[in-house]
Amino acid sequence: MKRLLRVREEAKNFATNENILYNSVVKNIVYSDTAVNITLANGTTILADYAICTFSIGVLQHNDVKFIPTFPSWKREAIFAIKMVTYTKNFLKFPRKFWKNTQFFLYADSYRRGYYPQWQSLSEIGFLPRSNILFVTVVTDESYVVEAQSNNQTLSQIMTVLKSMFGNDIPDPDNFYYYRWNQDPLYRGSYSNWPTGTSECQFANAQRSIGRLYFAGEAYSQKYFGFVHGAYMEGLRV
Ligand SMILES: Cc1cc2nc3c(=O)[nH]c(=O)nc-3n(C[C@H](O)[C@H](O)[C@H](O)COP(=O)(O)OP(=O)(O)OC[C@H]3O[C@@H](n4cnc5c(N)ncnc54)[C@H](O)[C@@H]3O)c2cc1C
Atom of ligand 1 nearest to the CA of 88: 1
The CATH class for the domain spanning 2-84+193-237 reads alpha beta
Three-class secondary structure of residue 5 per DSSP? helix
Measuring from atom 13 of ligand 1, which residue has the nearest CA?
227
**Spatial CA neighbour of 167 closest among 98, 95, 69:** 98
CA 86–ligand 1 middle distance (angstroms): 11
- Spatial distance between the Cα atoms of 190 and 203, rounded to a whole number of angstroms: 19
Amino acid at 137: T
Ligand 1 in contact with 228 (CB < 6 A)? yes
**Spatial CA neighbour of 139 closest among 191, 194, 83, 86:** 86
Ligand 1 in contact with 143 (CB < 6 A)? no
CA 48–ligand 1 middle distance (angstroms): 24
Per-residue pLDDT tens, the chain, 238 aa: give them: 677 788 788 888 888 888 899 999 999 999 999 999 999 999 999 999 999 999 999 999 998 999 999 999 999 999 999 999 999 999 999 999 999 999 999 999 999 999 999 999 999 999 999 999 999 999 999 999 999 999 999 999 999 999 999 999 999 999 999 999 999 999 999 999 999 999 999 999 999 999 999 999 999 999 999 999 999 999 999 9
Ligand 1 in contact with 55 (CB < 6 A)? yes
Left if phi > 0, otherwise alpha if psi is -120 to 50, otherwise beta: which for 92? beta
Every domain of the chain with CATH number 3.50.50.60 lies at: 2-84+193-237
CA 44–ligand 1 middle distance (angstroms): 24
- Spatial distance between the Cα atoms of 190 and 41, rounded to a whole number of angstroms: 23
Atom of ligand 1 nearest to the CA of 25: 42
ipTM entry: 0.97
Every domain of the chain with CATH number 3.90.660.10 lies at: 87-177
Measuring from atom 8 of ligand 1, which residue has the nearest CA?
227
The CATH class for the domain spanning 87-177 reads alpha beta
Amino acid at 24: S
- Spatial distance between the Cα atoms of 68 and 65, rounded to a whole number of angstroms: 10
Q: What are the CA-CA distances from residue 157 to residues 96, 116, 180 (Å)?
A: 20, 9, 17
Ligand 1 in contact with 162 (CB < 6 A)? no
Atom of ligand 1 nearest to the CA of 217: 26
